[in-house]
Amino acid sequence: MKKTNLLNRIKELTYWIIGISFFLLVNGTLTAQSIKLKTSEGYIKTQNSVQLYYKIQGEGKDTLVVVHGGPYNSGYLSPDLLPLAAHHTLLYYDQRAAGFSSSVSDTTKLGITNYIEDLETIRKHFNINKLNLLGHSTGGIFCGYYAATYPGRINSMILVNPVPAKAGWKISFGSELDSMSKLLKKQNKKKFVTAPKDTIKSCWDYYALDARGFYPSSIMTRRMWGDVCNCNPINTLSPGRNYIHKSFKNYDITDQLKKATAPVLIIGGELDGIPMESFEEWKNSFLNSTLIKVPNSGHFPHVDEPNAFFMAVELFMQNKSTKANIFNTKGAGIVLPLDETGTPYQQARAVVIKVENELIKQVNDANWAGVSEIYSNDAWIMAPGAPPVMGRQAIESFWHTAAIRGMHSLELQLMDVETSGDLLFGRGKYVMRNEQNEFFDIGKFVAIYKKVNQKWVLYTDIFNTSLETRSPIAIPDYLTLDKK
């Protein structure tokens, strides 16, 4: 106990020193130390000698264990859940025979009991008294089985589009794909499963089409950063990877779930291939649960409606009511009241979100002069399919031209932030919509910020489309286009 207290004191002192450094950077009196989100990874050996890969992100006081769906791996979830690491420690692990964990061909080691005990192994290894769980899709049913088996070891649960708690529900993913997409998907799958030379490339080709069946429209897949192919290729091609699904037959854990008294948040996309009624069944099976129905969302509400999703999770983790209108949440990210005086990472993130929120406001107000003021005098924009733009006058013209081309509104989502010297670096997603609120462009950005006259401004703004076709704003005539 004394050793633990000493380590905690050292950790608090380290945060205090780095925090003071960043505070002085914000006030322009010191060059800050480098600040980057804490990340570590490793392996845990189970009782039956399976090596489970894990990755830890964040430095929050509470730990949130993320249970992925499948038969996939944590790599399809972690990039898009990254904003949660600003306030929580996220513990991901790849289930047996998935991701970077051991390949398992013996089906006697692929039953639901093995998956439950793997989660218990994770809990014991990291000395967690009671688990905070976040389970997505099939990961939701694993969380449910764990809660039914070890109800006293659950502190809280977040179930995101969980597969049904009992058999009998009709699940339909990809049934609305057009005939060409179905044909290409079939062809690409054939190439993928025949062990091609470039396994990752063929994996991307297949799952890029497969993913369309999990979103309300194919274009919305372009918002996803998760990569199901980021894993050991042996596991993606293993015949046993689907065994766990085949082993689920006439199961029903609805009555057993009443053993769990911990609070449960269920988040379900209204346009998912899993029926909303099955999410309601989950809710009714627990004694202390809340269901949030996310409109305009499929199987990945954290990608489709990130602001609402992350606000709901933050409120739930703070033991606050999620009945507030989370769908009115706007901006580039969730900033909690104490972030501006919080950890160095939280402070840096709050600074960047403030700049990006101002950019959103000025663009959506069509105040092009106001937009240019968010940039430094020597700022650069490096946009898709266009030469670099430098200086406020050209930047004002650039954004005005983007509006003339059809951009009516801008959405930004900050995913991560770092510092180096006296500069801040941000990575994130953007969405542009037209006047009919349809998708105009979807992409990603990397931005560099510096402080000028006690104010943080954009110094370099680099963004690129994620669409499969050329971005609508990739026309290099913005310097000469007549203003309207």
Residue 116, Cα to own-chain centre: how many angstroms?
Answer: 24
Higher pLDDT, residue 208 or 58:
58
d(CA 469, CA 472): 9
Q: What tokens does 328 get?
A: 């009115």
Give 54's Cβ-side CA count (13 Å radius).
25
Q: What tokens does 6 get?
A: 């000493």
Residue 273 confidence (pLDDT) above 70: yes
Residue 274 confidence (pLDDT) above 90: yes
How does residue 7 score in pLDDT terms, banded at 50, 70 and 90? very low
Superfamily per CATH, domain 34-329: Alpha/Beta hydrolase fold, catalytic domain (3.40.50.1820)
Q: What's the pLDDT at 474?
A: 66
d(CA 314, CA 37): 18
Q: Highest mean pLDDT: which of 28-32, 187-191, 401-405?
A: 401-405
If you average pLDDT over residues 242-260, what whole number do you get? 87
Residue 66 confidence (pLDDT) above 70: yes
Give 87's Cβ-side CA count (13 Å radius).
21
Q: What's the pLDDT at 10?
A: 43
Higher pLDDT, residue 78 or 478:
78
Residue 359 confidence (pLDDT) above 60: yes
Specify whether the CB–CB gap between 461 and 382 falls below 8 A. yes
Q: Which helix (DSSP H) or strand (DSSP E) does residue 66 occupy?
A: strand 63-67
Residue 455 confidence (pLDDT) above 70: yes
Residue 17 confidence (pLDDT) above 80: no
How does residue 30 score in pLDDT terms, banded at 50, 70 and 90? very low
How does residue 25 score in pLDDT terms, banded at 50, 70 and 90? low
If you average pLDDT over residues 241-264, what whole number do you get? 88
d(CA 457, CA 223): 26
Q: What's the pLDDT at 179?
A: 83
Residue 26 confidence (pLDDT) above 70: no
Specify whether the CB–CB gap between 395 and 389 falls below 8 A. yes
Cα first-last separation, the chain: 69
Residue 396: what are its φ and ψ, rounded to 5°?
-60, -45
Of 272, 288, 330, which is closest to residue 306 (Cα–Cα)?
330
d(CA 439, CA 432): 6
Residue 477 confidence (pLDDT) above 60: no
| Cβ within 8 Å of residue 279, ≥6 positions away | 161, 162, 266, 268, 291, 293
Convert the pLDDT of each residue in 304-335 to its tens digit.
999 999 999 999 999 888 777 888 889 999 99
Of 93, 115, 99, 116, which is closest to residue 42 (Cα–Cα)?
93
d(CA 140, CA 137): 5
Residue 471 confidence (pLDDT) above 80: no
Residue 425 confidence (pLDDT) above 70: yes
The alpha carbons of the chain give a radius of gyration, in whole angstroms, of 23
**170: three-class secondary structure by DSSP:** coil
> Is the fold of 34-329 the same as that of 339-465?
no
d(CA 151, CA 118): 16
Residue 85, Cα to own-chain centre: how many angstroms?
Answer: 10
Residue 424: what are its φ and ψ, rounded to 5°?
-110, 145
Of 209, 237, 254, which is closest to residue 105 (Cα–Cα)?
237
How does residue 478 score in pLDDT terms, banded at 50, 70 and 90? very low
d(CA 435, CA 213): 27
Overall fold of domain 339-465: Nuclear Transport Factor 2; Chain: A, (3.10.450)
Specify whether the CB–CB gap between 443 and 467 falls below 8 A. yes
**Percent of the chain residues topping a pLDDT of 90:** 67
Q: List the chain domain ranges.
A: 34-329, 339-465
Residue 180 confidence (pLDDT) above 70: yes
Amino acid present at 340 = E
Residue 456 confidence (pLDDT) above 60: yes
Q: What's the pLDDT at 177?
A: 80
Q: What is the mean pLDDT of the chain?
A: 89
Q: What's the pLDDT at 18?
A: 46
Signed CA dihedral, 172, 70, 159, 251: sign only: positive
If you average pLDDT over residues 65-85, what whole number do you get? 95
Q: What's the pLDDT at 32?
A: 52
- Please report the DSSP string for 69-107 in residue order: -TTS-GGGTTTTTGGGGGTSEEEEEPPTTSTTSPP---G
Of 140, 118, 400, 162, which is closest to residue 268 (Cα–Cα)?
162
Specify whether the CB–CB gap between 208 and 233 falls below 8 A. no
Query: pTM of this prediction?
Result: 0.90
Asked which of 65-74, 133-142, 197-206, 346-355 is least confident by mean pLDDT, the reply is: 197-206
Q: What tokens does 101 get?
A: 């964990």
Q: What's the pLDDT at 310?
A: 97
